Amino acid sequence: MPKVLIVFGSTTGNTEGVAETIAKTLNGNGVEATVKNAADVTAPGLADGYDAVLFGCSTWGDDEIELQEDFVPLYEDLDRAGLKGKKVAVFGCGDSSYTYFCGAVDVIEKKVEELGATLVAGSLKIDGEPDSAEVVDWAKEVLGRV
Ligand SMILES: Cc1cc2nc3c(=O)[nH]c(=O)nc-3n(C[C@H](O)[C@H](O)[C@H](O)COP(=O)(O)O)c2cc1C
């Protein structure tokens, strides 16, 4: 059974809820998914023992892209997470009225690719309140690729 780690950074709970929905979908379909809050993890060896890692992060800031605050220390140390050759996908909540809609998702995708991870699915960018059907569809897409 593939093992998938889901790590999220979330301030108001939107991205956290998305992470839980993804985990539920994966766990109900032959994958062992574990959810961790970015506030509770450190980067060294984070991906060890997992077949794939899904990163979730909301976007903050006005004139520039700011990652959700709990995700920042992890992002800055991400080269120690063991992502080389690892399957990765990225999701996050945002608001399209801002200049950089879900900019954190783009920033994290770029970083994990630089670190040698393989993006196994296009990112999931959620505008406003998460719609669970959209999240489940994305999780099912990921499901076949981990
Ligand atoms: C001060 C502020 C700045 C924000 N900046 C952005 C932004 O630059 N891009 C974006 O897509 N969303 C932005 N958002 C929207 C949040 O990312 C959105 O509310 C998201 O659902 C929060 O997710 P979370 O509860 O998981 O933290 C901003 C919201 C606030 C209040």
Taking the C-alpha atoms of residue 130 and residue 20, their distance in angstroms, rounded to an integer, is 12
Sorted by where each begins, the domain ranges of the chain are 3-143
Torsion, Cα of 59, 9, 7, 87 (10° steps): 10
Burial degree of 38 (CB within 10 A; 0-12, 13-18, 19+): buried
Q: What distance in angstroms lies between residue 140's CA and the mean position of ligand 1's atoms?
A: 25
Report pLDDT for 66: 97
66 lines ligand 1 (CB under 6 A): no
Taking the C-alpha atoms of residue 128 and residue 3, their distance in angstroms, rounded to an integer, is 30
Q: What distance in angstroms lies between residue 30's CA and the mean position of ligand 1's atoms?
A: 33
Taking the C-alpha atoms of residue 108 and residue 114, their distance in angstroms, rounded to an integer, is 10
Report pLDDT for 62: 83
95 lines ligand 1 (CB under 6 A): yes
Would you give per-residue pLDDT tens digits along the chain (146 residues)? 999 999 999 999 999 999 999 999 999 999 999 999 999 999 999 999 999 999 999 999 988 999 999 999 999 999 999 999 999 999 999 999 999 999 999 999 999 999 999 999 999 999 999 999 999 999 999 999 99
For 7-63, the DSSP string reads EEE-SSSHHHHHHHHHHHHHHTTT-EEEEEEGGG--STTTTTT-SEEEEEE-EE-SS
Taking the C-alpha atoms of residue 91 and residue 109, their distance in angstroms, rounded to an integer, is 9
Fold that domain 3-143 belongs to in CATH? Rossmann fold (3.40.50)
Give the distance from CA 9 to its chain's centroid: 8
Q: Which helix (H) or strand (E) holds 105?
A: helix 103-114
Q: What distance in angstroms lies between residue 8's CA and the mean position of ligand 1's atoms?
A: 14
25 lines ligand 1 (CB under 6 A): no
Taking the C-alpha atoms of residue 96 and residue 81, their distance in angstroms, rounded to an integer, is 30
61 lines ligand 1 (CB under 6 A): yes
Q: Please, are residues 52 and 87 in contact by the beta-carbon 8 Å criterion? A: yes
